[in-house]
Amino acid sequence: MTEQQQALVLENMRLVSHCAMKFQHSGISWDDLCSCGNLGLVKAAINFDPEKNIRFSTYAGRCIDNEIYILLRQRKKHSPVTESLDCEILGTEGLRFHDVLTDDTDMADAVELHMLASDALAKIQSFPARNRRI
C-alpha cells in the first residue's frame, strides 16, 4: 500500500463502524463486522480511482457494505436448514410430517398418507429453489 492509500484508510476508519451499525442485529459479532468492514476499506483504498469523479467515502461505504454482505451470505450458506416434524405439509389439510412418518397406522391409512405425501412433494418440487429450501 502506498502512503496515500494508508492515509485514506486511517482517515476513514470511523466509516467502518458507521457501516457496521447497519448490520449489528444480524447475529454476527461486532468484531467480525468491523474486521470485515476494515477489509472492505482497504480494498476501497487500493482500487479507488479519483478520476471517476466520486468521493472516496461514497466508494468506500459501498465496498465496506459489500464485504459485510459477502460475510452474511457465507454464514447463511453454511447454516444448517432444519424442519420441524410438527409443520404442516403444504397442500394437505392438517397433515403433518410426523403423521406421515408414524408406522402404527393400518394399510389403507398408510396408502392414503403416502399419496398425500407424494402430492405434497410434487407440489413442493414445483416451487422455486429458494422456496423449497425454506
3-54 tens-digit pLDDT: 999 998 999 999 999 999 999 888 888 999 999 999 999 999 999 998 999 9
Q: List b or e across 5-30, with b for residues whose CB sees 16 or more CB atoms inside 10 angstroms.
A: eeebbeebeebbeebbeebeeeebee
Q: Which CATH class is domain 3-78?
A: mainly alpha
How many whole angstroms separate alpha carbon 67 and alpha carbon 64?
Answer: 5
pLDDT of residue 25: 87
What are residue 88's phi and psi, to 5 degrees?
A: -80, 140
Question: What residues does each domain of the chain span?
Answer: 3-78, 82-126
> Per the confidence metrics, is the pTM higher than 0.75?
no
